[in-house]
Structure 1
Amino acid sequence: MPKPAVESWERPVTSVSDNAASYFVDRHIPEGRGDKIAYREAGTLRSLTYQALVDGSERVAGALTQAGFRQEERAAMLMLDTVEFPQVFFGALKCGVVPVPINTLLAPPVYDSILRDSRASILFVSAPLYEAVKPVLAGNPYLRAVIVIGGPPAGDVHSYDQFIAGATPVETRPVSADEVAFWLYSSGSTGLPKGVQHVHSSLKATADTYGAGVLALSEGDIVLSAAKLFFAYGLGNAMTFPLAVGATTVLFAGRPTPADMIATLNDTQATVFCGVPTLYAAMVAEMDTSGAPDAPLRRCISAGEALPEDVGMRWEAHTDVAILDGVGSTEMLHIFLSNRADDVEYGTSGTPVPGYDVRLVDEAGDEVPDNEIGELLVNGASAAGAYWNQRSKSRATFEGIWTRTGDKYARRPDGRFVYCGRTDDMFKVSGIWVSPFEVEQALASHPSVLEAAVVAAKDADGLEKPKAFIVLSGAAPDNVEAALIDHVKSRIGKWKYPRWIEIVDDLPKTATGKIQRFKLREGTA
């Protein structure tokens, strides 16, 4: 009997050109952009040319290699948005080390969890953030080095300048396009962050889809992103998309207050601004008294949470520039559903970005018709492969070519998608789905309301009804609760109004601006 044929196994093809650093960093030198400013820091005199980005990332790659860090080891990055960030990120990619940017606004126990979960063997940390992570470093069994950016060495901690001093530059190494390049930790809007693994080709995939098809940057653009580099939205805005076309990015290291953002737009004459709904709402309120920025804005985008219609219209009235609202996720790396510059309808998330397919399905996995609510699934080349060490959650989220977003949407007959809420946030009143976002939009359109969040709470009979948490735009007027209830009834229907209204100073949010409704629900239990 003949022996069964044995399939031959071939190693994946590797190439320098498949390394994301080759496309986003190295190619700019032969294309003549060496002297062009790639990054400048707001409020400082520091800047970074494209040539300096190449040289700096090669020194980081050399320092990592010289210190014995090997391919696939993780390099945690607890770093502010400064010119060192892209040098460390792409330096790691060049030598095969996996950079893991981390949220800069977490508490020590969460840093401990992430550092242990990722098993990072080296940590790059900005000096102002060192004290926040210092308590968890001594007992970490994986870290072999801690590098402080902008601070002096102390004990076993090395300064960034000391680490890269004398390092022999290492050029970009060949990789497979499907090789894991970097991790991002999810924002934690529904619980503890999860490690999301992305491959080298994912970065260019977002630049070729949303970056080219919607944002449409050019080499002459100056980009300011209030959203930070440590999460997916900011990484695309301030790194992937500008570097794809040779544009200039303004880095803002501090907390993006409305006044600071308006001042930075003016100082840098930015042409593109990337924000989140909470910030846009606060900036509009600031503009009502101080006026609009005089920067030559031509494109503004929003993600993180659905943009309230009222905020978009007020922003456009001030600036004459529409906000392109879209939806993305850490799992998909950037925005896959968006409005377009010539086709904006506030209150919707627009249509699929070219290169992405979406579906709406019910609990049984069947497609839902127009105007009915379903969970949004998306298919595109930028999808992550899995969550690190979270097999059951990976299987529940990544279903073949489809990724479950956890967002509830309705598709209108004209093809536009209307956000209804997170799967965990939706609830039924009298057997009918209630969209928290729809109620929140109605509340936010009242002049007394700056922000609103709606969750389900149980009444005396144990039945779920809407409860609203309100941040007022000023002093509370008389009978504000009754006025808001009447306002909602007149806008979206008598049965959707909040049965309880609680006035709060602020809403719990992730660093990306997403409201943590699970924390509000815990308070109503």
Structure 2
Amino acid sequence: MTQGFAGVHPPRDYNAATDFIDRHGREGHGGRTAIIDADGPVSYDELTELVNRAGNALLALGLRQESRVAMIMHDSRRFPAVFWGAIKAGIIPIPINTLLRTSDYRHILTDCRARVLVVSEPLLDEVRPALAEQPFLDTVIVDGQPGRDEQSLADLLAAAGSDLEPAPTTADDVAFWLYSSGSTGTPKGVLHLHRHLPATAECYGRGVLGIEPEDVIFSAAKLFFAYGLGNGMTFPFAIGATAVYLPGRPAPDAVMAVLREHQPTIFGGVPTLYAAILADDANNRDSASPVLRRCISAGEALPKEVGERWQARFGAEVLDGVGSTEMLHIFLSNRPGRVCYGTSGEPVPGYSVRLVDESDHEVGQEEIGELLVNGPSACTGYWNRRDKSLDTFQGHWTRTGDKYYRDAEGCYHYCGRTDDMFKVSGQWVSPFEVESALIAHDQVLEAAVVPHDEGDNLLKPRAFVVLKNGCTASDDLAAELQGFVKARIATVKYPRWIDFLDELPKTATGKIQRFKLRA
């Protein structure tokens, strides 16, 4: 990291915005490019001014230290302006998923009690119906053309001052909230401190990813997502690198266009995106970024076959890892130069993990247990969800809800969510293991496996499969897939039923919602 970065141990009196935004100008690097978005490049000096104007604009609306501002915003320079401007002013920003429905927005806005909402104009049709009868919301700011009762973000920024003194926050003040992805139910408010931002930048950004000031990083995962927030803001801003933003959906064609145009050296995606890009044989290193040196995957476990095919075709390792909204970013990861595809690697420096059984006793090597993690970026708890907080956060340890086993080399193998694991004939079945076997078939794009009971109280695997373009579902293909799986894993684990779908239910962050497939 550049000189003066706080790292894992910031001082007690600490405002993260001074570290990630202001420091670049002080150290003489303000002319470096911080962001490339749809409107072009933004230098660190220009970003600092935008951040200051956003912070002043929020203060002028009457917000004070520890007030909350909700953000339903596409990825652009104005997202970090509002996010870091709020933090610098001591106000708490709450980025919200841009792909939710009106009912979700209604719940989250009421739950978080934000007084101000900043929303991108293209999202207004979905958001506006959720604004009626909000008990806490005073002001709606639109990034774009506002309606009659709304204010313009551009006008507020233009009218605000370009200098802003940081609020007198401490490292242990709440800096921002995120909402969990809702892969297993209603999204929960997750509270993060100022100290958590430099901790992830130091432990993962420097300790694993090895990001450098000359890097250009493009994260297809959006900034509202903990994984995307780290990739697209925390890591590049900590080191003075450049982040590339894509405002729209990260569809394969759009992602490939960004890779071609901006030639990033680091790319962050989710497994479903990697698989979708690989489904088109025309996509390769020459049609993307020939300077791509490293890729990141998280959100769900990356199938071994997908990782190997990506590296062979694009010439860059994929560092698959596991993280969570609760831990802010990846805490278990493969390492550059020693990637073991099909595993989540080993603990990130600064983090410790344990595998425990149902009685919280540690399990041995090759035994499946629930993954617990201890590290410097664990959130303080869930907002207004005391019982859930007590279940998840136990002393220094956070329960992830993921099942893993550790091999003789110390690598951790993902088996599935605790709620997704099930036994067949007394043997644990990992949905991920069966799904990985299915995905290895040349006609399968995606798969999800759930337990199914035909009425005899005996669970057996049922698979939901999405085929690649041009492939046709049939009973013969289903039988072929069953035989294909039997040849690769224990016979007892093969799917007794295979249903072909056009798409799998997922969260906006790409996680498969298996609970929706259980009949």
TM-score normalised to structure 1 length? 0.94
The verdict on how the C-alpha distance between 1:314 and 1:369 changes in structure 2, with shifts beyond 3 A counting, is same
Give the SS at the match of 1:331: coil
1:456 partnered with 2:432 = no
1:193 aligns with 2:190: no
> Quick one: which of 125, 130, 133 aligns to 1:131?
125
Specify the alignment match of 1:495 in structure 2: 492
Which of 459, 480, 484 is the aligned partner of 1:483?
480
Pair 1:513-2:510 in alignment: yes
Q: What is the rounded CA distance, in whole Å, between the counterparts of 2:86 and 2:290 in structure 1?
A: 35
**Unpaired stretches in structure 2, ≥5 consecutive residues:** 1-9
Q: Which residue of 2 aligns with 1:399?
A: 394
* 1:132-172, Cα deviation, whole Å (9 max, x unpaired): 11012121111111000022x32220010222232234221
Deviates more, 1:245-254 or 1:52-61: 52-61
Q: Report what 1:240 is aligned to.
A: 234
Query: 1:225: which partner in 2?
Result: 219
Candidates 65, 89, 104, aligned match of 2:59: 65
- Structure 2 counterpart SS, 1:249: strand
1:306 aligns to what SS in structure 2?
A: coil
2:142 aligns to what?
148
> What is residue 281 of structure 1 aligned with on the other side?
275
Q: Which amino acid aligns with 2:505?
A: P
Match of 1:37 among 29, 33, 38: 33
Residue 161 of structure 1, aligned match among 154, 169, 172: 154
Cα offset, 1:291, TM superposition: 3.8
Following superposition, the deviation at residue 348 of structure 1 comes to 0.4
In the TM superposition, residue 45 of structure 1 has moved relative to its aligned partner by 3.5
Tell me the distance in 2 between the aligned counterparts of 1:143 and 1:460.
49
The match for 1:370 among 365, 369, 372 is: 365
Report SS of the residue matched to 1:140: coil
Q: CA deviation at 1:17?
A: 6.0
- 8 Å contact 1:38–1:50 — kept in the other structure? yes
Find the aligned partners of 1:110 and 1:71 in 2 and give their Cα distance: 27
Structure 1 residues 220-243: Cα deviation after superposition (integer angstroms, max 9, x where no partner):
000100000001000000000000
Look up the match of 2:172. Answer: 178
Mapped contact 1:16–1:172 kept (Cα < 8 A): no
CA separation in 1, counterparts of 2:455 and 2:230? 47
- CA–CA separation in structure 2 for the residues paired with 1:48 and 1:128: 23
SS in 2 for 1:18: coil
Preserved CA contact (<8 Å) 1:15 1:174: no
Give the structure 2 partner of residue 446 of structure 1.
441
What amino acid is the match of 1:397?
A: T
CA contact (8 A) 1:306 1:326 kept: yes
Distance 1:477 1:195, change over 3 A: closer
User: How far apart are 1:327 and its partner, in Å?
Assistant: 0.2
Which residue, out of 325, 329, 342, partners 2:337? 342
Q: Is the 8 A contact 1:16 1:22 kept in 2?
A: no
1:162 alignment partner AA: D
Q: Distance in 2 between matches of 1:176 and 1:115?
A: 26
1:91 alignment partner in structure 2: 85
Cα distance in 1 between the residues matched to 2:284 and 2:361: 49
Q: Alpha-carbon deviations, 1:360-415, whole Å to 9, x = none?
A: 00010100001111000000010000000000000000001000000000011211
Larger mean Cα displacement after TM superposition, 294-303 or 202-211: 294-303
Distance 1:110 1:217 in 2: 35
Alpha carbons 2:264, 2:289 under 8 Å: kept: no
Match of 1:22 in 2: 18
Conservation of the 8 A alpha-carbon contact between 2:271 and 2:301: yes
Q: Secondary structure at the match of 2:85?
A: helix
Segments of 5+ residues of structure 1 without an aligned counterpart are: 1-13
Distance, in Å, in 2 between the alignment partners of 1:264 and 1:295 is 13
- Residue in structure 1 matched with residue 403 of structure 2 by the alignment: 408
Measure the CA separation in 2 of the matches of 1:315 and 1:113: 39
Residue in structure 2 matching 1:428, options 423, 426, 430: 423
Aligned equivalents of 2:144, 2:40: Cα separation in 1? 13
1:45-85 deviation digits (Å, cap 9, x = unpaired)? 43321011111111111111122101111100000001100
Q: Aligned residue for 2:201?
A: 207
The equivalent position to 2:254 in structure 1, one of 256, 260, 268, is 260
2:208 and 2:348 in contact (8 A); partners too: yes
The Cα shift of 1:15 comes to 7.1
* 1:302 CA drift (Å): 0.1
Tell me the matched-pair count. 505
Inter-partner Cα distance in structure 2 for 1:289 and 1:172: 49
- 1:183 and 1:477 map into 2 onto residues whose CA distance is 44
> 2:328, 2:377 within 8 Å by CA — same for their partners in 1?
yes
Alpha-carbon RMSD across the aligned residues, in angstroms, is 1.3
Q: Is the 8 A contact 1:16 1:174 kept in 2?
A: no
- Do the aligned partners of 1:98 and 1:181 also contact (CA within 8 Å) in 2? yes
When residues 394 and 91 of structure 1 are mapped into structure 2, their CA distance, relative to the original with a 3 A threshold, is: same
Q: Secondary structure at the match of 1:261?
A: helix
The CA distance in 1 between the partners of 2:403 and 2:245, in whole Å, is 34
Once the two structures are superposed, residues 286-314 of structure 1 have per-residue CA deviations (whole angstroms, 9 ceiling, x without a partner) of 2x134432431001010000000110111
* Cα distance in 2 for residues equivalent to 1:55 and 1:357: 39
Write the letter of the residue equivalent to 1:443. L
Q: Distance in 2 between matches of 1:134 and 1:235?
A: 25
| SS across alignment from 1:33 | coil
